[in-house]
Amino acid sequence: MPIRLRKFIGAVLLLVLVIVWALVAMALAQAPLIRDNPIASVTYYVIAGLGWVLPAMPLVWWMSKTDDRRRRTEDG
């Protein structure tokens, strides 16, 4: 797969991931345990704010891979 197509697909998937993650995080933040407790609220928002990075890392790695056929022809 050409790298430009891989990056386009990855960018669209990253955008979808961030939107879905934000909507789910906002819905979960309305739970009484999180909403009524300031310590739980801060902890939740830190984890939810940084948590999207873990599923995004493999996607970014996949996007940045070079084409296997090109690598084989350049190596000899």
CA distances from 52 to 61, 66, 68, 76 (A): 15, 24, 28, 39
Read off φ and ψ for residue 72, nearest 5 degrees. -65, -40
This prediction has a pTM of 0.75
DSSP letter for 52, please. T
pLDDT value, residue 72: 60
Q: Is 27 exposed, middle or buried (0-12, 13-18, 19+ CB in 10 A)?
A: exposed
pLDDT value, residue 52: 92
Residue 26 CA to residue 44 CA, distance in Å, equals: 11
Kindly give the parts of the chain with pLDDT less than 50: none
User: Which residue has tokens 């739980």?
Assistant: 40
